[in-house]
Structure 1
Amino acid sequence: MNEVVMRLNGVEKFYNKGLANEVHVLRGVDLSLSKGEMVALVAPSGAGKSTLLHIAGLLDAPDAGEVAIGGDVLSGRSDRRRTNARRNDVGFVYQFHHLLPEFTALENIALPQMANGVGKAAAEARGLELLARVGVDHRADHRPAALSGGEQQRVAFCRALANAPRVMLADEPTGNLDPATSDQVFDALMELVRGTGLSALVATHNMELAARMDRVVRLEDGVLVQG
């Protein structure tokens, strides 16, 4: 049996709970990610994909239910424990790269590692290794403004994997790119996921990209359904 890396059980989320304009965003969501599995999360805009990703990544708390990473239930734990889990176990990628503009591509990847206690030389070595995996190691010394949109997003993928997380959570990671660049960047994402053995939950509107992943789940009226 494949190792379950992340599990969500009965996750509920309300906005404006108890008020006349209450919105029940998530209605008992159950989801598990196995080691090395790449899962597409699809839903219409405003259906709660980002909310689900934020809860899975411990950036937001569910109103009910549990979030577990590596068998450790983290929902309801202390802020410090959840912060440590976010830093070490979860990598985030967004539609916009959010790279630090004053630092080079390599420095953007090394900094999260150095903040986690890794020495500069080791952090840069890992950064170069990750950049090579996605074919932009020759741009390591360039700042984000000197990189194309596709290159910036590849660097963002590498930064998300800098601290060797168990899970990558990606919110429309190719949504800001043209179709040709989107395909190239998604290929790079798949190379990173397959090459490092982590799990990935990827929210996307692109059904062609979704079909290339191991499994597709849909968020419909706050409920997660397969396929």
Structure 2
Amino acid sequence: MSEVMLRLSGLKKTYKKGQTGEVTVLDGADLELARGEMVALVAPSGAGKSTLLHIAGLLDTPDAGTVEIGGVDMTGLSDRRRTVARRQDVGFIYQFHHLLPEFTACENVVLPQLADGVPRGEALTRACDLLARVGVGERADHRPSAMSGGEQQRVAFCRALANEPRLLLADEPTGNLDPATSDQVFDTLVELVRGTGLSALIATHNLELAARMDRVVRLDQGRVVPG
């Protein structure tokens, strides 16, 4: 039986709307993600994909329900312990790369490792290895502004994997790119995930990309259902 890397149970999340109204985004959402599994999460804009990912990645807390990563219930942890778990166990990729503009590609991949206590020499070696693996090794000394959109997103992939997380969460990771570049960058992401044995939950509007993953789920009225 495959080990469950991510288990979301009964997640509920409601936001205030205006002075008196409320909108329920998640209403008892359940999801299990096995070790090494790639799952696509599809839903229209505003259906709650980002909310689900933020809760799964410990960036937000649910109103009810639990989040388990690697069998550990993260829901009731202190902010400090959640921060440590997020830094060590979870890699997050956004639609926009969010690289630090004043640092080079290599430095952007080194910094999260230094924050986790990795010696600088070891961090540099891992950063160079990751950048080479995704085909931007020769751009290691370039700042994001001197790189193409596809190159920037590849560096963002490396940054997300810098601390060797067990779980990768991606929110429309190729949504900011043109179709041809999107396909190339997505190929790179799949190779990275498969090569490292990561579990990955990837939100995407692109049904062709979604079909290349192990399975597809979607959000329907606040719940996760088969795609």
Asked if structure 2 preserves the Cα contact closer than 8 Å seen for 1:55 and 1:61, the reply is: yes
Counterpart of 2:102 in structure 1 is: 102
* Matched ranges for 1:15-94 at <5 A: 15-16=15-16, 20-94=20-94
Q: What TM-score do you get using the length of structure 1 for normalisation?
A: 0.97
For 1:136 and 1:169, how far apart are their aligned partners in 2? 22
1:220 paired with 2:220, answer: yes
Asked if structure 2 preserves the Cα contact closer than 8 Å seen for 1:217 and 1:225, the reply is: yes
Q: What TM-score do you get using the length of structure 2 for normalisation?
A: 0.97
Identity of aligned residues (%): 74
Counterpart of 2:14 in structure 1 is: 14
* Matched ranges for 1:180-219 at <5 A: 180-219=180-219
What SS class does the counterpart of residue 218 from structure 1 fall into? strand
**Runs of 4+ in structure 1 displaced over 4 angstroms?**
none
Deviation, structure 1 residue 42: 0.3
What SS class does the counterpart of residue 145 from structure 1 fall into? helix
For 1:220 and 1:159, how far apart are their aligned partners in 2? 32
Output the aligned Cα RMSD.
Answer: 1.0
Over residues 118-156 of structure 1, what are the superposed CA-to-partner deviations in whole Å (9 max), with x where a residue is unaligned? 111110111111112111111111111111000000000
For 1:117 and 1:58, how far apart are their aligned partners in 2? 21
Over residues 65-97 of structure 1, what are the superposed CA-to-partner deviations in whole Å (9 max), with x where a residue is unaligned? 000011110112110111111000001100000
Counterpart of 1:131 in structure 2 is: 131
What SS class does the counterpart of residue 31 from structure 2 fall into? strand
For 1:33 and 1:129, how far apart are their aligned partners in 2? 28
Over residues 1-31 of structure 1, what are the superposed CA-to-partner deviations in whole Å (9 max), with x where a residue is unaligned? 11111110111111129x7411111011111
What SS class does the counterpart of residue 225 from structure 2 fall into? strand
For 2:22 and 2:103, how far apart are their aligned partners in 1? 43
Counterpart of 1:171 in structure 2 is: 171
Deviation, structure 1 residue 188: 0.6
Deviation, structure 1 residue 106: 0.6
What SS class does the counterpart of residue 22 from structure 1 fall into? strand
For 2:192 and 2:121, how far apart are their aligned partners in 1? 22
AA paired with 1:102?
E
AA paired with 1:15?
Y
Over residues 174-197 of structure 1, what are the superposed CA-to-partner deviations in whole Å (9 max), with x where a residue is unaligned? 000000000000001001101111
Question: Comparing 63-72 with 130-139, which one deviates more in the overlay?
Answer: 130-139
What SS class does the counterpart of residue 21 from structure 2 fall into? coil
Over residues 14-60 of structure 1, what are the superposed CA-to-partner deviations in whole Å (9 max), with x where a residue is unaligned? 1129x741111101111111111110000000000000000001111
For 1:94 and 1:24, how far apart are their aligned partners in 2? 23
For 2:73 and 2:85, how far apart are their aligned partners in 1? 11
Deviation, structure 1 residue 202: 0.4
Runs of 5+ consecutive residues of structure 2 not aligned to the other structure: none
Asked if structure 2 preserves the Cα contact closer than 8 Å seen for 1:133 and 1:191, the reply is: no
**Would you say how many aligned residue pairs link Structure 1 and Structure 2?**
226
For 1:123 and 1:192, how far apart are their aligned partners in 2? 18
AA paired with 1:73?
D
For 2:134 and 2:187, how far apart are their aligned partners in 1? 9
For 1:193 and 1:35, how far apart are their aligned partners in 2? 11
